[in-house]
Structure 1
Amino acid sequence: MDSIARRKFLRLSAYGGLVFSSGLPRARGQDAHSAEDGFYFVQLSDTHWGYQGEANPDAGVTLPKAIAAVNALAVQPDFVVFTGDLTHTTDDPRERRRRMAQFREMVAGLQVKTVRFLAGEHDAALDQGRAFREFFGASRYTFDHKGVHFIALDNVSDPAARLGDEQLAWLAADIQEQPMDARIVVLAHRPLFDLYPQWDWATRDGARAVEILLARPNVTVFYGHIHQEHHHTTGHIAHHSARSLIFPLPAPGSQARRTPLPWDGAHPYAGLGFREVEARRAEAAYALVEFPVAKA
């Protein structure tokens, strides 16, 4: 059993995860390090630190439980990314910064050395991302890891849920610099496609971003915001949303209002969880493994 297969077996045995494979065509010209080693990262989303309400009466301990679960993985990920709504919205700028400071202090308990952050509208929409940038750095950026090019977008600092012309031009310029067969992963908070605009589950100019991304054959998008696992394709681009770490939301359009699903005291943390994303060795595909916040 090779090291990656063994690693996955250990993780699935410990947590009972479910595997969803996101297949992409093989990319030509992969560097030898990527092809030989492979890697995986963990996506967490929508922690909403500072939330208080009956949708999660254990809100103060849910994030620590998730951190402990990630630290308990048999093999630590290459990095962790939080795809937005780190904190719960507040009109008080001082309270917003206090929550961000508390969140940053808690996630420092992760054993993995590299942790990356995206803003959500709860973090950024009321001050155009100023507090987020003070605590976590740029709200849009790129990085490369073992043959994969990552692009983190900001579709929340504009309260109108737009990327904006300037950011779209930045995205187009970055894509233009990548080889045609580059493996590209896009990270965002809101979906880039119109999942359910009536519930703010869309990016107003997201179609323009998707049009730019469609020019490259190997693109996958990971996002948050909708508090549930969801899989969608636009052309050849796969879009995967992650579960929340605070409360689940209903399926798109399944009820009249976008209200949290009720807390079930008999099954606490039901519907909450995080995700592993594995870039497989010798093939341009991603295996997604979904994990609960805590073992049953």
Structure 2
Amino acid sequence: MEEKKNNISGRRRFLLQSGFAAMAIPFTQISCQNSNESKATEDNEDSFEFAFLTDIHIKPEMNAPKGFQMAIDKVNTLNPDFVITGGDLVYDCMRGNYDQSESLFLLYKNMCKGFNMPVYNCIGNHDLFAIYEESPESEDHPDYKYGMWERHFGDTYYSFDHKGWHFITLNSLDVTENKRYQGVFHEKQLEWLKADIAKVEKSTPIIITTHIPMICTYSQLNGSEGTRTVNNASDVFDILEGHNLKLVLQGHIHWKEYGFINDRFHFLTGGSIAGNGWKGRRHNTKEGFVTVKINGNDFSWEYVDHGWETERIRLAENNI
């Protein structure tokens, strides 16, 4: 298990300021943590733990089901209250036909029955059905774009409460005129968010989950090709102004990145279950997932290696 912890109560913090992205940094992931991470905090009656699994990329090939099952087994061993996923559950529906895409969703859903706790899902770009020109399906298909997701999982954005914390899952995706995905929170969702937040006490701790990151240094470190962040993340931050936003959980990049923004909130990009398409690490981040432990108004986190890299090498050596 690879561990990175941050306890946010009364500790030194690394502040990610506006000039940070311009720094010349000789590595491809940033993980900021406090210097007293080993200090124990006594649990109170409101403490709980959940797991954040993102970019699972389930498919029948490359022993992906075996790798995902290893993650499921590891989560069950840790026994959190629930699981939140960060999108890209399957690979790939954007270019797929109906039968192929439907089979991927069914594979994912059937495997998720192995979790011993509830699973709250977030939509990712690879979960959008038939949005690319390469797909043989048309825009008139009832499952186009969000349709297949909604049929299997329901709304693409929603909220729930657990032991005094408010959790918001957002849909960070839409489709451009030239049939490519983009990172954006559409207006209807923003109106829903305003109504949802209006019902939440301003002191209530809030955690947001999104697939496309709201904040990320990938483009500054590696170039800006593709959609790496949401275009209008500031709209969400404006809506939550004055509320107790604690943490933004993100996926998409397949790396581990943590930051604390101007004494306001934390963001955590949670690596990937699949790594580099089930072929090993991506951006030097091991395949894995995040556990978040809540203790009153505070939290700490760990990045858990579920062992796929070692198993992948073993399978390759034995031609499995």
TM (normalized to structure 2)? 0.71
Does 2:65 correspond to 1:80? no
Question: How many Å apart are 1:142 and its aligned residue?
Answer: 0.6
| Structure 1 residue aligned with 2:315 | none
Following TM superposition, by how much is the alpha carbon of 1:47 offset from its aligned partner in structure 2, in angstroms?
0.7
Match of 1:272 among 278, 287, 290: 287
* C-alpha separation in 1, matches of 2:279 and 2:151: 35
Aligned equivalent of 2:121: 117
CA contact (8 A) 1:38 1:279 kept: yes
Question: How far off is 1:261 after superposition?
Answer: 10
| Among 196, 201, 225, the residue aligned to 2:228 | 201
- Which residue in 2 is equivalent to 1:155? 172
Q: Cα distance, 1:59 vs. partner? A: 2.5
Aligned: 1:290 with 2:290: no
1:107 aligns with 2:109: no
CA-atom RMSD in angstroms: 2.5
Amino acid at match of 2:299: Y
Counterpart amino acid of 1:21?
Answer: N
What SS does the corresponding residue of 1:198 show, helix, strand or coil?
Answer: coil
In the other structure, the counterpart of 1:39 is 48
Matched residues, number? 249
Match of 1:286, SS?
strand
Supply the distance in 2 between the matched residues of 1:87 and 1:263 (Cα, whole angstroms): 18
User: Aligned ranges for residues 10-21 of structure 1 at < 5 Å?
Assistant: 16-21=1-6
Aligned to 1:231: 258
Return the alpha-carbon distance in structure 1 between the equivalents of residues 154 and 235 of structure 2: 25
Identity within the alignment, %: 24
Using a 3 Å threshold, how does the CA distance of structure 1 residues 71 and 188 change in structure 2: closer, same or farther? same
- 1:30 counterpart residue number: none
Rounded Cα–Cα distance in structure 2 between residues aligned with 1:193 and 1:97: 32
Q: Is the 8 A contact 1:24 1:218 kept in 2?
A: no
Provide the residue aligned with 2:73 in structure 1: 68
Note the C-alpha offset of 1:214.
3.3
Measure how far apart 1:262 and its partner are: 6.2
**How far 1:220 moved relative to its partner?**
1.1
The answer to whether the 8 Å contact 1:163/1:205 transfers is yes
Q: Distance in 2 between matches of 1:187 and 1:101?
A: 23
**In structure 2, distance between residues paired with 1:288 and 1:96:** 34
- How many angstroms apart in 2 are the aligned matches of 1:270 and 1:154? 25
Q: What 5-or-longer segments of structure 2 have no aligned partner?
A: 11-42, 132-143, 176-180, 311-320
Distance 2:146 2:7 in 1: 32
Unaligned 5+ runs, structure 1: 1-15, 26-33, 249-259
1:233, 1:172 → 2: CA distance? 24
User: Residues 47, 170 of structure 1: CA spacing in aligned structure 2 closer, same or farther, 3 A cutoff?
Assistant: same
Whole-Å Cα distance in 2 between the matches of residues 133 and 141 of structure 1?
12
Aligned residue for 2:211, secondary structure, equals: coil
Distance 1:60 1:172 in 2: 39
Determine which of 157, 162, 178 is the counterpart of 1:140: 157
Q: Which amino acid aligns with 2:275?
A: F
Distance 1:234 1:176 in 2: 24
Write the distance in 1 (CA, Å) between the matches of 2:9 and 2:212: 23
Do 1:82 and 1:117's aligned partners in 2 also have CA atoms closer than 8 Å?
A: yes
Point out 4+ residue stretches in structure 1 off by more than 3 angstroms: 260-264
Matches within 5 A, 1:211-226: 211-226=238-253
The answer to whether the Cα contact below 8 Å between 1:193 and 1:207 also exists between their aligned partners in 2 is: no
Does the aligned pair in 1 maintain the 2:182–2:227 contact within 8 Å? no
Distance in 1 (CA, whole Å) between partners of 2:60 and 2:273 is 11
Asked if structure 1 preserves the Cα contact closer than 8 Å seen for 2:271 and 2:285, the reply is no
Report the counterpart of residue 6 of structure 1 in structure 2: none
